[in-house]
Structure 1
Amino acid sequence: MKGHSDSGSIQVSIDWKENLDAAQYDVDAFIVLVSPQGIQDGSMRQVWTSLLLPLMESHLFQAAPFQTYAVPLPGRGEYRTVIFVGAGERPLTSEELRIASAQAARMALKMRAKKLAWELSSPLVTFTAEQHARIAAQAMTEGMILGSYRHKQYKKSNSEYKGLEQLTFLRKGKVSGVEMADWEEGIARGRAFAESTCIARDLTNLPGNFLVPEDLARAAVEVAEKHGLESTVLDEKQLAAMGMGGLIAVGQGSVHPPRLIMIKYQGKDDWEDVIGLIGKGITFDTGGISLKRRVGMEEMISDMGGAAAVLGVMNALGRLRPAVNVVMVIPAAENMPAGNAFKPGDIIQSYSGRTIEVLNTDAEGRVVLADGMAYAREQGAAKLIDVATLTGAVLSALGDVATGVVTNDDTMLEEFILASKRTGEKVWPLPAYKEFWDMLKSDVADLSNSTGSRGAAITAGLFIGTFAEGLPWIHLDIAGTAFLNKERGVNPKGATGVMVRTLTEWILAQEAPDQ
């Protein structure tokens, strides 16, 4: 049985002509970004102004930010509908433009549109606070693809409508070579960021019976092969022989054995300055012997959201080809209760040699990530970022609005926060005081895997940070942001693919200026 999703496959292009004739475009709808000022100063085409004035007078459409209104145009051979998108009174930030584009995409989905044309103002950058064509192009492309995402369906009868297929940006007038290059680069980046996010969404949304560790490994290999990247998958026998005690322990209660997945992206001549991305790949989490409550357990299909995120990043790097080196590691397992499952009170020896006292089998993510971190260092990683749906405690602190961050390197964190502001994905740092590190101590082992409820989001992150062995490291707890109960911004209900875009943005910023 297969689900259906064509999200992320939209073809995006730009057509810039001095004498642009809209009638030549065979599209289902035109999109027009509208500001009250644009109506008043006459800068908009008369055909749109004549439609907008009655709408505004009747208060049906006020051009407020993110407001959309579709007007059917019977008898218009070249297009059937115009979708007006509000821009408000002031220039939009890139994030606001991204959200406005997502709203336009959702309106187009309601109309079952396939082909769209977006008529740009001259120049569009006057709508944006950043005043940069590349940034505007990237934000609009991302927003359209992210907003058009549709969850896979498993119904007996599926709609024949496959979603949006084509988007063309149109602008009349002269354009410089520099501006055209900026638009093309922005579209390319926007497609890579958004399509990779949709890959992460699709994986995270898969039911647990459709995605076990072996399936996740197969999906990762497909991404690697598509871009010609080196990949390695280690099975349970290899993991046991290597001494990956954390991953083996967590996965031993399942009939679906664990896997360790690695992909390398080498954008430099020498394998140096390597960035390590480690994603939690618990394909389903019952809590093991420390069984979770029944209510809400179905959402534990998303407990591999960190793995999906780092895999999405590798897809983006494969498309964009920056001059950086990245190794991705996913420790994948299914945490199940069984006669042979690991138990509270067990002592585990991790791949690093450190021993772990198990106090809670539902604190399994940090245990597998310990092995993943050690393996990434072994593969040459000099900086480390782990991504995990790690704790319920982070929701108590930040809800489903922001991703919690713990780090041992403030400079690295500042760079990452700047990247998050450019992508619009909210992150918030949590303190890493010595007292929190001390809470990890065990009487009988090197570490305990649970410290109780106090400071739990922090101590869980610091547990993983122990295995960075002093290297610059950031932990991203996406337990609140990886899976939403309702649509918000550019994100749909369900899996969000959070952190794919910010991680990619941060990695691109690491590229040397002369490359």
Structure 2
Amino acid sequence: MRADYTTNTKISVTESGGWASAEADALLFFTTEGEDPGSLPDLPAELRAELDRLKRTGRFKGGAGEVTVLPAYGRLAAPYVIAAGLGAAPAGRDTLRLAAVQAAREAQRLGLGRLAVLLPEGAFPAEPPRGGTYAAPLAAQGAGGAGAAGGASVKSASASGDGVQAEPQGESGADARTAAEARPASQSASAADAEPAGATSSATTVFTVAEGLLLGAYRIATYAREAKPRQELAAAQLFVQRDALNGEALQAAVAAAEAYAVATNYARDLTNLPGNLLLPSDLAEEAEKLAGQFGIACEVLDEQAIVERGMGALAAVGLGSANPPRMITLSYDGDPSSGEVLGLVGKGVTFDTGGISIKPAGGMEEMISDMGGAAVLLGLLIVVGRLKPRINLRIVIPAAENMPSGTAMRPGDVITTLSGRTVEVLNTDAEGRLILADGVTYAIEKGATRLIDIATLTGAVLVSFADVATSAQTNDDAFLASVLQASIQAGEKVWQLPNFPEYREMLRSTVADIKNAAAHKWAGAIMGGSFIEAFIEDKPWIHLDTGGTAWLWGDRGVDPKGGTGAMVRTLAEYICGAGV
């Protein structure tokens, strides 16, 4: 296995007075378009003049994500200076994160492992996606989600407090109560709300830059005989203004940023593993290893137990493979006094050929990423293990390999799921929804009172959103509003699809309770979610389809080529609210 849930990068925070004299491989600072280089008096006049010339000639404008590297010519202790662009002022949090990502990538490319980073002053607000507004009510951006009221904090399982949550502003009556109930207990009012505004914005800046540097330092594992070892960013010293130097708050921000970024990079590693190196049994072993690391309960059912428990959908999907399925459950009780349990169910198809309804050969190698939902939830386990939010979780991962063979599930088969419902199989390549059906039922059996499933479920989601956004469906808009707010804080694009009852009608079967695909090709992404909804037993539910976002064919923004770890940070923010 080449998936790592640690980082060797040392991130520290100190007062900004010593930035220019720091012993480092490079000094890093952030600049907006049109900003006068004279605002950096700590830099030698020659360097400020060179930056001014680059800006005037258009070779470096300070645009969002733009990076330039200048030699210091012996004028500084550090041999290089890196300028990272923030675009037009005022910049938002996503822009700052992107600048840090791009700076880390450029530093690694040049072998600059130790950075001294001058943090920009001012607030960097979250940036809602451009081009429209969310369909689910965001209630004046206060309907939940981490940081909805200026920053929520992580509370350990042993933290005191009754978990009473203030009603969000902009809501009243039942709507406010529903939205408040949609939030995890870890996002209740906290000491962070009472901190001075300067301290809060500095913690946000520290978190965002630290997270961006670690995300940008990610490098995909290679298996070439003479492959160079993956280089890490060795150290990043973050320099903040003296009046904002709140040691405890800033160290907490660094710890949270490390947890979010390490979890995302770990999910990327898992997603990038070749199919022959990540079988269902390997995924189960990885879950057991992580659970042992963080003291979290883990249960793994093998193929015999799966059949004995009546998990006919998961068993059927695994029939065609020589590598049998597993059902993985991880239980975390961070708030034993609460009866609320969030069930998280992730698709773990370690390789998907489509089965008898086999896929075209072109691009099939990308199907190593079909366990992207499972990767996200195992990554999330790292955040939970490190930050210990006050919430109860049941993480369920049905894992299988979908292969064609003489024993494989066939089109036309009728299978009986764990819920007792029967399914007519029209398409064996619609296998993800089958294993998720047993997964959500098992999560409910384990006590889940609300559900989020995440899966690389459909190619059809690419028709709607390309590889830009994750789609969401729900039966509870207030619940989804909380997750959407978390996605804004995390800088990940999520967009709601409709969930009209007519879609479920299209999945009616004449020989079973439901069929796993419609007789037509329309609304494929919605159909996948509608099928899963048939098994949720009227629990509040969200379906996230990362079929477009879990894998990219080239770097884009903060996301690298290959596995992206999409939605790790959104779910971490929803559960922990640590992104201040």
Per the TM superposition, whether the score is higher than 0.5 is: yes
Contact 1:244–1:350 (CA under 8 A) maintained in structure 2:
yes
Where relative contact order (Cα < 8 A, 6+ residues apart) is larger, the structure is 2
In structure 2, relative to structure 1, the CA distance for the partners of 1:475 and 1:117 (3 Å cut) is same
Name 1:112's counterpart in structure 2. Answer: 111
Q: Shift of the alpha carbon at 1:36?
A: 5.0
Partner of residue 33 from structure 1, selected from 30, 47, 51? 30
Deviates more, 1:264-273 or 1:399-408: 264-273
Name 2:274's counterpart in structure 1. Answer: 207
Separation in structure 1 between the aligned mates of residue 546 and residue 3 of structure 2, nearest angstrom: 26
Equivalence map 1:69-218=2 (5 Å): 69-75=68-74, 78-121=77-120, 124-126=121-123, 132-160=201-229, 162-171=231-240, 173-175=242-244, 177=246, 180-218=247-285
Contact 2:2–2:269 (CA under 8 A) maintained in structure 1:
no
RMSD over equivalenced CA pairs, Å = 2.0
Name 1:42's counterpart in structure 2. Answer: 39
Separation in structure 1 between the aligned mates of residue 415 and residue 480 of structure 2, nearest angstrom: 31
SS at match of 2:385: helix
Amino acid at match of 2:565: G
Q: Shift of the alpha carbon at 1:120?
A: 2.5
Q: Shift of the alpha carbon at 1:22?
A: 3.9
Separation in structure 1 between the aligned mates of residue 277 and residue 126 of structure 2, nearest angstrom: 44
Q: Mark the runs of 5 or more structure 1 residues left unpaired by the alignment.
A: 511-515
Separation in structure 2 between the aligned mates of residue 142 and residue 389 of structure 1, nearest angstrom: 25
Contact 1:74–1:80 (CA under 8 A) maintained in structure 2:
yes
SS at match of 1:82: strand
Question: Residues 167-221 of structure 1, C-alpha deviation per residue, up to 9 Å, x if partnerless?
Answer: 11023534453xx433222222211111101111000000000000000111111
SS at match of 1:90: coil
Equivalence map 1:298-317=2 (5 Å): 298-317=365-384
2:524 matched to 1:476?
Answer: no
Q: Shift of the alpha carbon at 1:290?
A: 0.6
Name 1:343's counterpart in structure 2. Answer: 410
Given the two structures, how large is their TM-score scaled by the length of structure 2? 0.83
Separation in structure 1 between the aligned mates of residue 109 and residue 397 of structure 2, nearest angstrom: 37
Name 2:10's counterpart in structure 1. Answer: 11
2:353 matched to 1:286?
Answer: yes
2:490 matched to 1:491?
Answer: no
Separation in structure 2 between the aligned mates of residue 286 and residue 21 of structure 1, nearest angstrom: 53
Q: Shift of the alpha carbon at 1:353?
A: 0.5
Name 2:324's counterpart in structure 1. Answer: 257
Contact 2:280–2:401 (CA under 8 A) maintained in structure 1:
yes
Question: Residues 1-36 of structure 1, C-alpha deviation per residue, up to 9 Å, x if partnerless?
Answer: x6597985422111126x52643x332111111235
Q: Shift of the alpha carbon at 1:485?
A: 1.0
2:89 matched to 1:20?
Answer: no
Contact 2:453–2:543 (CA under 8 A) maintained in structure 1:
yes
Name 2:56's counterpart in structure 1. Answer: 57
Q: Shift of the alpha carbon at 1:77?
A: 6.5
Superposition misfits of 4+ residues, deviation over 6 angstroms:
4-7
Name 2:573's counterpart in structure 1. Answer: 505
Contact 1:4–1:154 (CA under 8 A) maintained in structure 2:
no
Amino acid at match of 2:238: F
Contact 2:280–2:323 (CA under 8 A) maintained in structure 1:
yes
Separation in structure 1 between the aligned mates of residue 7 and residue 559 of structure 2, nearest angstrom: 13
SS at match of 1:214: helix
SS at match of 2:415: strand
Separation in structure 2 between the aligned mates of residue 36 and residue 365 of structure 1, nearest angstrom: 46
Separation in structure 2 between the aligned mates of residue 418 and residue 259 of structure 1, nearest angstrom: 33
SS at match of 1:202: helix
Separation in structure 1 between the aligned mates of residue 11 and residue 553 of structure 2, nearest angstrom: 30
Name 2:185's counterpart in structure 1. Answer: none
Separation in structure 2 between the aligned mates of residue 3 and residue 189 of structure 1, nearest angstrom: 23
In structure 2, relative to structure 1, the CA distance for the partners of 1:169 and 1:315 (3 Å cut) is same
Deviates more, 1:181-190 or 1:95-104: 181-190
Equivalence map 1:235-250=2 (5 Å): 235-250=302-317
Contact 1:246–1:351 (CA under 8 A) maintained in structure 2:
yes
Amino acid at match of 1:239: I
SS at match of 1:125: coil
Name 2:195's counterpart in structure 1. Answer: none
Name 1:384's counterpart in structure 2. Answer: 451
SS at match of 2:36: helix
Contact 2:318–2:325 (CA under 8 A) maintained in structure 1:
yes
Amino acid at match of 2:85: G
Q: Shift of the alpha carbon at 1:249?
A: 0.4
Separation in structure 2 between the aligned mates of residue 281 and residue 184 of structure 1, nearest angstrom: 35
Name 1:513's counterpart in structure 2. Answer: none
SS at match of 2:510: coil
Amino acid at match of 1:15: T
Q: Shift of the alpha carbon at 1:278?
A: 0.2
SS at match of 2:70: strand
Name 1:420's counterpart in structure 2. Answer: 487
SS at match of 2:433: helix
Separation in structure 2 between the aligned mates of residue 42 and residue 286 of structure 1, nearest angstrom: 57
Q: Shift of the alpha carbon at 1:76?
A: 5.1
Q: Shift of the alpha carbon at 1:80?
A: 1.6
Amino acid at match of 2:63: A
Deviates more, 1:111-120 or 1:33-42: 33-42
Contact 1:90–1:127 (CA under 8 A) maintained in structure 2:
no
Equivalence map 1:225-244=2 (5 Å): 225-244=292-311
Q: Shift of the alpha carbon at 1:331?
A: 0.1
Given the two structures, how large is their TM-score scaled by the length of structure 1? 0.93
Separation in structure 1 between the aligned mates of residue 487 and residue 251 of structure 2, nearest angstrom: 23
Question: Residues 297-343 of structure 1, C-alpha deviation per residue, up to 9 Å, x if partnerless?
Answer: 00000000001011111111111111111110000000000111110
Separation in structure 2 between the aligned mates of residue 42 and residue 383 of structure 1, nearest angstrom: 51
Q: Shift of the alpha carbon at 1:268?
A: 1.2
SS at match of 1:209: helix
Amino acid at match of 1:158: A
Separation in structure 1 between the aligned mates of residue 454 and residue 332 of structure 2, nearest angstrom: 18
Separation in structure 2 between the aligned mates of residue 217 and residue 426 of structure 1, nearest angstrom: 29
Contact 1:98–1:139 (CA under 8 A) maintained in structure 2:
yes
Contact 1:404–1:427 (CA under 8 A) maintained in structure 2:
yes
Separation in structure 2 between the aligned mates of residue 175 and residue 409 of structure 1, nearest angstrom: 40
Contact 1:8–1:149 (CA under 8 A) maintained in structure 2:
no
Q: Shift of the alpha carbon at 1:44?
A: 4.2
